Amino acid sequence: MNTLILGLIAALCWGFHDICVRFLSQKVPISAAIFTVLLTGLIFHSGLTVISGEFLALPMQAVWLSLGAGVFFVVATYGLYYAFQRGPVRLVAPLIASYPILSITLATLQGQSVGLYQWVAVLAIVIGVAIVAMLSDTSADDTPSKGPTVFYALIAAVGFAGTFALGQSAAEISHEMPSTFVTRLLTVALVTAIILIGKQAFWPGKSALPWLIAMGIADGIALLSVLSAGRMANPEYAAVTSSMFGLITIVLAWLILKERMSATQWGGCLIAFCGVGYLTL
């Protein structure tokens, strides 16, 4: 399995996660939703570790990298939830989906070989996602001021890029299962501390719990998929293709909820998948 496939698996899982958020964001406190999703992801990952028997000691460098990835993942999660809560989608989704540009830039700074046409392919993916997202938004214009929304979205983009860069580096020098466990454990600990300090809600309500658990499992699969790419060639491509989660969300809405998609949106899908196709060459 190559990095692009891992990225697409992550995109599908995060697409499912986001389509669930569309139903729950107005009914469940953000703190409770984040805590439940991340705790479920930790439990899910712990179960996989027990089943696989991969109880491997991590070198100290991998531990620090995994802890850093955990901090960035908390930043990314809060940024994403607050950005989408404020909206509109046409503004938020393209900004968050721009994190592959940061991922490729970091990979270049670390000595990875990224050619001109590979950069073009990355930009095609980002542009394709942006086209689909911008044309899918039907929210009214009476949304909150755009300044904080842009800030949260960009914070999420930086958070995802940092999570993947540090997490993949940890997996490269050790193994993805224990390193991702460390990342997950710190993430839940930090979110718990934030909720306690802010005196926010932990309990999402009985009706939302099954959906949040499913979202947590999907999130667990997605993060593990992207970080597992650290042991493969061109791990940054997993981060690139995972950014298509916004596009996947809208396609799932078309497939499952029978929401309409315009010809231009299908064109955006084609542009994005052409970018992915080029990277497979």
Tell me the pLDDT band of 1, cut-offs 50, 70 and 90.
Answer: low
Q: Alpha helix locations (H) across the chain?
A: 3-24, 30-52, 60-86, 89-96, 99-109, 116-136, 146-173, 176-198, 209-228, 236-242, 245-256, 263-279
Q: Of 219, 95, 102, which is closest to residue 166 (Cα–Cα)?
A: 102
Q: How far is CA 8 from CA 49, 175, 239, in A?
A: 23, 21, 9
**Average model confidence (pLDDT) across the chain:** 82
User: At how many degrees (to 10) do helices 146-173 and 209-228 cross?
Assistant: 50
- Mean pLDDT value of segment 228-236: 76
pLDDT tens by residue, 168-185: 888 888 888 889 899 999
Dist CA 165 CA 103 (whole Å)? 7
> Considering the domain boundaries, does residue 251 fall inside one?
no
Q: Token pair of 8, please?
A: 């697409």
Domain coverage including residue 43: 3-114+144-246
Give residue 257's pLDDT: 62
* pLDDT score, position 195: 95
Q: Is residue 210 part of a domain?
A: yes
Question: 232 by DSSP, 3-state: which?
Answer: coil
For residue 182, tell me if it sits in a domain. yes
Q: Does residue 8 lie within any of the structural domains? A: yes
CB of 255 closer than 8 Å to CB of 108 = no
Q: What is the residue type of 49?
A: T
> What is the rounded CA–CA span in Å between residue 97 and residue 160?
9
**Backbone conformation region of residue 31, classed left if phi is above 0, alpha if psi is from -120 to 50, else beta:** alpha
Q: How many CA atoms lie within 13 A of 5 on its CB side?
A: 4
Residue 19, in any domain of the structure: yes
**What are 60-114's pLDDT values in tens digits?**
999 999 999 999 999 999 998 888 777 666 677 777 877 877 877 877 777 776 6
In our burial notation (b when 16+ CB lie closer than 10 A, e otherwise), range 158-171 reads: bbbbbbbbbbbbbb
In a domain, 74, yes or no: yes
Contacts of 63 (CB under 8 A, 6+ apart): 170, 182
Residue 140's pLDDT is: 53
In a domain, 130, yes or no: no
Q: Are 257 and 18 in contact (CB under 8 A)?
A: no
Residue type, 56: L
- Asked if residue 29 has pLDDT above 80, the reply is yes
Tally of domains in the chain: 1
Across the range 138-142, mean pLDDT stands at 55
pTM: 0.83
Residue 122 maps to a domain: no
Say if residues 164 and 223 touch (Cβ distance below 8 Å).
Answer: no
Is 122's pLDDT higher than 60?
Answer: yes
